[in-house]
Structure 1
Amino acid sequence: MRAIVAGGVVLAGLSLSACVTPRAAPPAGACNAAKAQGFVGNAASEALAEDARKAAGAQTVRILTPGQIVTMEFRAGRLNVNVDESGHVSAIRCG
């Protein structure tokens, strides 16, 4: 910390230049679900899931149906395609 006296008043200043961490580029195979949102509302199929995976840049894809038991670990390179009771894509998320 550095103190500066100006007109009888002490002004204190802090240097915080080292507090900002640069944002790294996403690793190869990382998922970007925003690029696959156009598939939401369509009838689910293996072909649609694969097209969504490619659009999102993910390494893997899984289709999740209502009531299905799934593992909860997060995988940056995986795309999850959620399907509703009518067989349509209800959500697309990474993880």
Structure 2
Amino acid sequence: MAPTPTPAGQPDDAPEAYVGLDADRAERRARSRGWSTVRSLPPGSVITMEYLEGRLNFEVDGGTVVRCWTG
């Protein structure tokens, strides 16, 4: 099966690699890898479902990234 292409405005990065990192360290890493927007959210946050190319979302619990996704 062919790999899923990376959208033009999005870095070629693996979101799952951020899970388990300290939130501050994860944000610095994401920005250094080219993410234009990094959003940290507490567990269970109500968010809109619009997709924003170049954005990386972190769900942070106790200062640690527990979930990460693009858009």
Relative to the length of structure 1, the TM-score reads 0.53
- Structure 2, unaligned stretches of length 5 or more? none
Structure 1 stretches of at least 4 aligned residues deviating more than 6 Å after TM superposition: none
Give the 3 Å change call, closer, same or farther, for CA 25–71 of structure 1 in structure 2: closer
Equivalent residue pairs, number: 68
Question: Could you say which structure has the greater relative contact order, defined with CA pairs below 8 angstroms and 6 or more residues apart?
Answer: 2
Percent identity, aligned pairs only, is 40
Partner of 1:49: 27
Q: How much has 1:65 moved relative to structure 2?
A: 0.9
CA distance in 1, matches of 2:31, 2:40: 11
Question: Once the two structures are superposed, what CA deviation does each residue of 1:54-82 show, in whole Å capped at 9, x if it has no partner?
Answer: 32x32211001113332211112111011
Give the 3 Å change call, closer, same or farther, for CA 30–67 of structure 1 in structure 2: same
Q: Residue 66 of structure 1 aligns to a residue in which SS?
A: coil
Q: How much has 1:33 moved relative to structure 2?
A: 4.4
Aligned Cα RMSD in Å? 2.8
Give the 3 Å change call, closer, same or farther, for CA 58–68 of structure 1 in structure 2: same
Partner of 2:68: 92
1:34 aligns with 2:11: no
Q: How much has 1:51 moved relative to structure 2?
A: 1.8
Give the 3 Å change call, closer, same or farther, for CA 54–35 of structure 1 in structure 2: farther
